[in-house]
Amino acid sequence: LIRLHQEGLSFRNVVLVVGYEYYPLAKEDAGCLGQLEEQFISKVEILPANVIAIPGTLAKEEIMDACAAYERTIQDLGGIDLMLLGIGRGGNIAFNEPGSQFNSETRLVLLDNNSRADASEMFGNTESVPVSAITIGIDTILKSREILLVAWGEHKAAPVARAIEQDASPACPASALQLAQNAHIALDLSAADRLTRISKPWTVTSCEWDDQLIRK
């Protein structure tokens, strides 16, 4: 996206809805929004008023109302045009951890050990990672006009395979994308390693054979 911006793509009319934030955060903690600002927002011309996020510094008694207001804000915007997702080791999308229901909306959730371990680099160590997060729900994601999930690296291969080739189930939240009308998944070969067409390409007649798969 940054490269496209450098080639002339404008983000001035883009509204960015942040999918999740760690909770609780101290005021000095960067969190997800801080990372986005450093790695993306500061490099394009998105207007500050067009960045929509739930702060991780809310008082606990404010969270329920803030989550309901977030859903209303998304509806008032006309819904989400493009939902950009990653996938966690547990098959989570945003912070919808395994067990999340497909009709879930924005809410406070407890993070599992995998999610906290993945965030340890951001916070310095696992013990410093907040135990919770505020996340948009699976139903919120599925209502998006278009969904794009991206995954790179062999550590994503197992959850990607579960999401794509096993039945849709709350045990793997990303499998809910099977129910979406316009979902796409972009993978490198390592993240696709456990998919049948990559691990056993001879069983898939439509497979495009390439040198890497022939050697494998």
In whole angstroms, how far apart are CA 129 and each of 23, 32, 44, 111, 132?
9, 12, 29, 9, 9
Set 45, 97, 165, 208: catalytic member: 97
In whole angstroms, how far apart are CA 138 and each of 40, 68, 113, 143?
24, 15, 20, 9
Angstrom distance (rounded) from CA 90 to CA 112: 9
Angstrom distance (rounded) from CA 95 to CA 125: 19
Helix segments in 127-176, DSSP class H: 138-142, 157-165
Contact indicator for 151, 78 with CB cutoff of 8 Å: no
Tally helices (H) and strands (E) across the chain: 9, 8
Identify whether 97 is a catalytic site residue: yes
Active site residues: 97
